[in-house]
Amino acid sequence: MTAKPAAAAARATVYGYPRQGGNRELKKAVEGYWKGRVTADALRTTAAELRRANWRELADAGIHEVPTGDFSYYDHVLDTSVMVGAVPARHRAAVEADVLDGYFAMARGTRDVAPLEMTKWFDTNYHYLVPELGPGTVFTADSAKQVAELKEALALGLTARPVLVGPVTYLLLAKPAPGVADDFDPLTLLDRLLPVYAEILADLRAAGAEWVQLDEPALVQDRTPAELNAATRAYRDLGALADRPRLLVASYFGRLGDALKVLAAAPVDGLALDFTDSAAANLEDLAAVGGLPGKRLVAGVVNGRNIWINDFQKSLATLATLLGLADRVDVAASCSLLHVPLDAAAEHDIDPQVRRWLAFARQKTAEIATLARGLANGTDALTAELAANRADLASRTDSALTRDPAVRARTAAITDADGRRSQPYAERAAAQRAHLGLPLLPTTTIGSFPQTDELRVARADLRAGRIDTAGYEERIKDEIREVLAFQEKTGIDVLVHGEPERNDMVQYFAEQLTGYVATRHGWVQSYGTRYVRPPVLAGDISRPEPMTVRWTTYAQAQTSKPVKGMLTGPVTMLAWSFVRDDQPLGDTARQVALALRDEVNDLEAAGTSVIQVDEPALRETLPLRAADHAAYLDWATESFRLSTSGVRPDTQIHTHMCYAEFGDIVQAIDDLDADVISLEAARSHMQVAGELAEHGYPREAGPGVWDIHSPRVPGTEEAAALLRKGLEAIPAERLWVNPDCGLKTRDWTETRASLENLVSAARQVRAELSTDNG
């Protein structure tokens, strides 16, 4: 069937674009500024050049309306806090002294002042800085960044649309400020915040904005009647403003549900909705509310979170259906393209057969432009594009690279017994204490140690052929010995080898497993200047040979203390990859779990007594709707147990989680049946310890006492105070002492001082306990 042209020419747009630049120029400039090698003016110049390059690239690709305001030095939610004047009291002096330095102080902290808490952006691997609000918060408008970036785009002759975090989502993402009662609801500040948004909208209108986008992704989560009423009030008031641009309210990451009725009835000028597979019900729901007569609909039909090519025929059918439900229909990705790498065409090392299946940000903008053209002119205008797209989709469906009969047979043979330890925890704990002989409040680290410039140079030299494998491995051995010697001298009880051979906690394993494809340039922002290269999970997973045994046993041979084996768990291997979309996630997780099970068993056979299987992504991958939680947690916890249940009772299984809200998954943490769990807790002041205690968590736990995402070095008394707070919730015989997370991003000066203070704090609190018991 030939689609008819749209009544009004459809426009192509996006909500956001990768910020870093083709060679991560932003990362280099920001970190250079922190180190004093780049001036503030030079940093601003680099940022402006990257913005202009992005806008020109989008326009040249056929994007009719470019976004502004999505660019950030660190985080767009932090930018929103600055925009509305919600600067924490402890940072106000720094911001007043120097706006840029104060901004980074809020993000990273200083020697004396703690940063804002950081957590996951919905169910993605992006992290945002949590606003801190209280009854005394006074909002003030500061539209300078948003207005300046809009003017930059308009000066290039482009049609531009500022993108802001919406007021309801901003408040729902916030937390009570330090010293404010835990039950304070930031949403009670809505009436104070709306006049500030009104002022900012007026400023943008005066600067030339025809449309402004207000992002409300929090409305795709389960929301109470009070929260939906807040959304009703917010957009009733903003829509009624006399001096405002046209308002486009955007949601993404799922189905809006009841919130769709609220937004469809609001006096705004358009909605942007997700229509990809995970949110396909938005189409039916939109029809049920009578569509958007007289309004603009921006249809997110290109997946902005994954990297597989779009199915043009399917998307055009969706768009054709939507034509009857709004005054005009435009085409977009389902969310900001911040969550995907920049350009698949740069991946020359990937098998060309696989590369034709991939669409990164540049390819997705081309897909959006193509679909907009097809919607505007009819499918007859896309004959060649549709034929090529069908061939690429068929190539993936028919490829032998995606199916391994042996892996599928092994997965099908899994039994319930494969996911259970041979003895209950109490018996295992006794065996482990006898075997390991650890002190009260044992100290350890999470896994990685600083990735020094020397290590990066050695890795680059190996790739370039300047040194051979033997020379590179000698450098790795030197680093392992140095890391072990430092830990032994400091007095750490359970050691790690520091992971100097690893480039990334997911990519390192992906490069050794069949079914994964690694990228060379596929960088995606995780937080601030931390970028990762998620591998592509393209086919069935198996482990051809041991992955970590050699380096772990080398490290263990250097010391009489236990050295942890370090692995990344199956859920995180999926969550921090671009996962295949042609089979259920649970099926893929079981394949990864079986590969890891083989590795765990090999580590134990080689003499490793403590094995850590990290699952920092368990919470972030939790579906946004409660109705979907049970099914996800069932396969997620099962896959972890499948990885770890083949060991002896006296082998201690650890896991680790960080930078998420853990309260709503404590039962799942319990269901993992790990012997020890370490968790991020420093920024939240041991909140998770109380959550574990309230649940009655029966096993050992290490709530972190050092926030490693800040350059601050915590003093001994600071760490000891956190330990004492932890002891209020967790008995001493079950409490571990550790940092929040791995130390890869820290330098050696910070690491030495912080770990020395951590061990001193453990000794001090041990002595206090001994005195109390004496």
Among candidates 566, 740, 655, which has minimal Cα distance to 114?
Answer: 740
| 3-class secondary structure, 162 | strand
What is residue 22's DSSP assignment? T
Integer CA distances (angstroms), 691 to 679, 703, 726, in order = 12, 11, 11
The one-letter amino acid code at 17 reads Y
> Of these residues, 64, 91, 656, 709, which one is catalytic?
709
Spatial neighbors of 590 by CB under 8 A, at least 6 apart, are 411, 414, 570, 635, 638, 639, 642
Rounded CA-CA distance 171/233 in Å is: 14
Q: Are 41 and 362 in contact (CB under 8 A)?
A: no
* Phi, psi angle pair for 563, to nearest 5°: -115, 125
List residues bridging with 297 in a β-sheet: 271, 329
Among candidates 657, 540, 651, which has minimal Cα distance to 591?
Answer: 540
In terms of Cβ atoms closer than 10 Å to its own Cβ (0-12, 13-18, 19+), residue 398 is exposed
Structure tokens at 764: 């001090």
List residues bridging with 165 in a β-sheet: 215
In terms of Cβ atoms closer than 10 Å to its own Cβ (0-12, 13-18, 19+), residue 667 is exposed
Rounded CA-CA distance 586/511 in Å is: 21
Kindly report the three-state secondary structure assignment for every residue of 232-255.
HHHHHHHHCCCCCCEEEEECCCCC
Instruction: Return the C-alpha torsion angle 417, 420, 426, 431, nearest 10.
Output: 90
Among candidates 660, 670, 663, which has minimal Cα distance to 640?
Answer: 670
What helix, strand, coil percent values describe the chain, rounded to 5?
50, 15, 35
Question: Helices 469-490 & 748-773, crossing angle to 10 degrees?
Answer: 30
Catalytic residue list contains 521: no
| 3-class secondary structure, 422 | coil
Point out the residues that are catalytic: 709
